[in-house]
Chains A and B, each alone.
Chain A
């Protein structure tokens, strides 16, 4: 079962930073937070993941609160191609390492 909650939709102006929040208040100490996005009718694309520390890569930054109960994905300069559904996932910590997707946030980047 999904362990995350996200707002259903958000808008962001092109060129601005998009900040996508995620709540995962029941996360366990050894469970990672993953972010994927899905553009219409395609498979999900990996963005970033983290455990405790903030992370940054060429696509985005991930800010995790100190108590790990929430996180924020930051797209620093949103483009029209960033319009997608963004999923925050807590990876189940067992040998299977399954992903249970929540409802995600539909981000629309506006010109």
Chain B
């Protein structure tokens, strides 16, 4: 149980285009999902926290108009990188969490990541 998937697993796009990444919780309902970014040989950096049905909360320094997050259902959150540039090339990872009242409410379950390359 507690499987999180991401789609696509990798994507290459041209500079200036937008890319959408999906994060799905396959066998549980995720009231909260998190988006991280990881550059080569670096740690994961939290970008934003999204709660189902409400606006995402972005970490300091993360542009909310560039990284659009939608969490419209309890099993799906999307991250759209708008007007992508080469410096946006990175490994994007999502995680999902059950309601705090659940037995696993304290854990985060991570997706396999999406590698974005912007040419």
Which residues does A use to contact B, with CB under 8 Å? 2, 32, 36, 38, 41-46, 49, 87, 91, 95-104
Contact = CB atoms under 8 A, between A and B. Distances in A.
Q: Interface majority SS on B: helix, strand, loop or mixed?
A: strand
A41 B38 CA distance: 10
Contacts of B111: 43
B97 interface: yes
A60 B112 CA distance: 22
Interface of B: 4, 6, 32, 34, 36, 43-46, 49, 57, 91, 93, 95, 97, 100, 106-113, 115
Contacts of B113: 41-43
Q: Interface majority SS on A: helix, strand, loop or mixed?
A: loop
24 contacts: A36-B110, A41-B91, A41-B113, A42-B112, A42-B113, A43-B112, A43-B113, A44-B44, A45-B110, A46-B108, A87-B43, A87-B44, A91-B106, A96-B32, A96-B49, A97-B32, A97-B100, A97-B106, A97-B108, A98-B34, A98-B49, A101-B43, A101-B46, A103-B43
